[in-house]
Structure 1
């Protein structure tokens, strides 16, 4: 609901900019109400579009999804404008303040749609960070970093073929997205059969990193039958988690993106590698364990000792987290 409220407020402010007579308080209020109603309905639609029943729309080609959304947005904008004009028909100047013709509705719909499409392509946080220039000058930030590596991916890809395996990964990553978003995580990067998720330590939601991992596993297990019937395998992940400082900044020219660099990222990858060595599914560093403590009910942290990791000069204190 935070997203709905934010979009509603911004849309209401945008609506006031279209007021024909700023000296009339009622006209300004009507324009704000029109803009707010449009923003609220579009935001609610975008939330509904994340539901499982809307999966065909999310998985449609970009151009098709863009056209469908543009059509729906145009209908919402034009419809709200007609409704508000009807509601204020007895006040000619007030009605003029909320009058939206079909061309204007289409232009605004394309603008809204373009913004939401970019947000989805880039990711919610990188989109706003690039828009506001937050990382135009590199910053040092503390993050929780979670590396997830798909078990048995090589065997599965060989058995079902590259095309089916790509479909499998797409389905798995799509199913995980809402859980990650709800936990306040950011999908930093897909690296083949690995996914990297981060949380900023200065935000309270970073404590949900381990809970997010548990919910991902529950979700994938609940949909196990579908995966087995469709692809012949249920997705399971090894997980390595570390917390510490990273340098965050923009990089590139033709393809601009926000990159996270530093020993924390490399160490998280090495911790995930250690899962193979110890035959565990989840291993955390001491700093990551501190960031997500207290542990969710039913889990216990087993000390593995100070372990030398590949490429690291100093050993690191690690913990396996399993059902207690």
Structure 2
């Protein structure tokens, strides 16, 4: 179900992007000066106005957008993990080029019928057609923009790129966030057993599996630190429908489901422990050479300490009392009071609870 939602989201974004991209191209062509403007206007005289061309822009946007969504989705799910980024981009570019030729051939045939004009449409028409190569160049640039936005969203989280461009976090801003620190259990022992190369591959596979489900729960990856991943939510989004809790247990179920793979390749079944806490903290941009968003405040340190307490109390998932109060666990989970956590530099102790599936 999640894969379908993920595809539909990509499908809608892709069609909107490419339709707007071709609208912009048509607009530029109609307001341009020179020979090509005269050529286009000679055709537009037969069609009355620009709206006929915009109609084809919609058709082309839907065609290219659909193809783009399908290729991106299939590559992400089946291919990207096994090849490097440069090769993936090259293969996708070749696929797009071939499909673009056929799309244009379809559009030209449609234009001849609806506009009652004679256009060049033999099988090799595109090889020496200047307008086609202009469109290809424009398509290539638009593709780079699309890929850049997609990669930026994967790097920073959805919407963060726009916030950084708009300067939202140029000055420190207070926000309420929810964090999960999730860490591989017995990591030191596993590293000694597997060796650093095999151990690194294990972490790659585990975090790849984690990335397969985090979008399902609207989580963002704040950072990876060694064998630990730090996930983040807007506070209300993370609490809603117990997303933060569901994510953890679904990740464990996915690891169990793939246990044969891990046993075959690493002779172990990986298990992760986690700590969850949230509250108000400061968000701001840091750095100039490697600019990124940083979170400053006790929430980060407290969440880390809660996760570290998992070993002490032999628990897989610990949360703070204030998170438990805001969650509606219902009958799916049960909570167990574990103890009080004394934080460094603090006088008051923090009550922590273990969460278990029923």
Specify the TM-score bucket, using the shorter chain as the normaliser: 0.7 to 0.9
Aligned to 1:14: 21
Q: What are the superposed Cα offsets for residues 229-277 of structure 1, whole Å, 9 maximum, x if unpaired?
A: 1012111011100011121121111111111221111110011111112
Query: Structure 1 203/120 Cα, relative in aligned 2: closer, same or farther at 3 Å?
Result: closer
Contact 2:310 2:317 in 1 (8 A): yes
Aligned to 2:181: 147
2:170 aligns to what SS in structure 1? Answer: coil
Aligned to 2:231: 197
Specify every segment of 5 or more residues in structure 2 that has no aligned partner in the other structure, as ranges: 1-7, 32-48, 121-130
1:295 aligns to what SS in structure 2? Answer: coil
Aligned to 1:80: 103
**Quick one: distance in 1 between partners of 2:216 and 2:85?**
24
Structure 2 matches for 1:49-64, cutoff 5 A?
A: 49-51=75-77, 53-54=78-79, 57-64=80-87
Aligned to 1:279: 314
Task: Choose 240-249 or 18-27, whichever is displaced more.
Answer: 18-27
2:112 aligns to what SS in structure 1? Answer: coil
Q: What are the superposed Cα offsets for residues 131-171 of structure 1, whole Å, 9 maximum, x if unpaired?
A: 44432333211111001110111111111111111111111
Specify every segment of 5 or more residues in structure 1 that has no aligned partner in the other structure, as ranges: none
Structure 2 matches for 1:22-37, cutoff 5 A?
A: 23-37=49-63
Contact 2:71 2:92 in 1 (8 A): no
**Quick one: distance in 1 between partners of 2:63 and 2:275?**
44
Cα-Cα RMSD: 2.6
2:175 aligns to what SS in structure 1? Answer: strand
2:335 aligns to what SS in structure 1? Answer: strand
TM-score (ref. length: structure 1): 0.88
Aligned to 2:65: 39
Q: How many residues align?
A: 318
2:15 aligns to what SS in structure 1? Answer: helix
Contact 1:185 1:197 in 2 (8 A): yes
2:83 aligns to what SS in structure 1? Answer: coil
Contact 1:84 1:95 in 2 (8 A): no
Greater helix share, 1 or 2? 2
How far off its partner does 1:172 sit? 0.8
Query: Structure 1 140/44 Cα, relative in aligned 2: closer, same or farther at 3 Å?
Result: farther
How far off its partner does 1:204 sit? 6.8
How far off its partner does 1:173 sit? 0.4
1:88 aligns to what SS in structure 2? Answer: helix
Task: Choose 111-120 or 206-215, whichever is displaced more.
Answer: 111-120
How far off its partner does 1:106 sit? 3.7
Aligned to 1:134: 168
How far off its partner does 1:203 sit? 3.2
**Quick one: distance in 1 between partners of 2:167 and 2:102?**
35
Contact 2:156 2:221 in 1 (8 A): no
1:239 counterpart (255, 270, 274): 274
Contact 2:153 2:161 in 1 (8 A): yes
Task: Choose 236-245 or 57-66, whichever is displaced more.
Answer: 57-66
Contact 2:318 2:353 in 1 (8 A): yes
Structure 2 matches for 1:182-193, cutoff 5 A?
A: 182-193=216-227
Query: Structure 1 230/152 Cα, relative in aligned 2: closer, same or farther at 3 Å?
Result: same
1:89 aligns to what SS in structure 2? Answer: helix
